[in-house]
Amino acid sequence: MKQYEIRADYDRDTIVVYQAYRKEIALPAIRDKKFSSPPFSYTRMTWIKPSFLWMMERSGYGRKSGQEYILAIRIKRSAWEKALSQAVLTHPQEGVYTSGEEWKEKMENTTVNVQWDPERNLRGGKLEYRSIQVGISRHLIKEYNEEWIVDIQDYTPLTNKIYDLRMQGGHDKAKELLPKEKVYPVSEEIKRNLGMD
């Protein structure tokens, strides 16, 4: 594995990203295939993640308060790639920005942030390579909700099944149930923009 690459469940036109929410947000979203009800907020950044296992680590397999429902959100690849091309990393990575001042200026004007965190294995351990998180600012959330999203599926039952197998020591069976993620191809421009070179 390369240290920086995107791995995801995707097809020709769409890519799956994950978010975890409380019942009051999740159930209407599953029903309406978009975020349709308060307390979903259009005024703060929302983070989407294409790594299922990173989402599991973040949400404690849906056991953390306010993150009980795991949603698989299928969005347009064209929108995903547009977001990546506009993104600014959450820290001034050498080789991506010419100076801290350039990074700071871009951060102040961006609508998309990207953060690379250690990928996780089924047991929750940190791996040597990274997983991408994409932060969508309040300026883009309405577009994300109304134009990017193609489908929203409830992965909570799947998450619970994987969690139970994991807790019972059935790691091989749990692994078979994981969403099939493969390396997502991106342009050279996006690679440079996200520090993937």
Beta strand 149-154 with 69-76 is antiparallel
pLDDT of 197 over the 90 cut: no
Cβ–Cβ under 8 Å, residues 61 and 86: no
pLDDT in tens, 12-49: 999 999 999 999 999 999 999 999 888 999 999 999 99
Counting DSSP H helices and E strands in the chain, the numbers are 8, 9
Q: How far apart are CA 52 and CA 59, in angstroms?
A: 10
Q: What is the distance between the terminal CA atoms of the chain, rounded to a whole angstrom? A: 13
Quick one: pLDDT at residue 36? Answer: 87
Cβ–Cβ under 8 Å, residues 113 and 89: yes
Domain spans of the chain, in order of start = 7-193
Q: pTM of the predicted model, to two decimals?
A: 0.96
pLDDT in tens, 93-106: 999 999 999 999 99
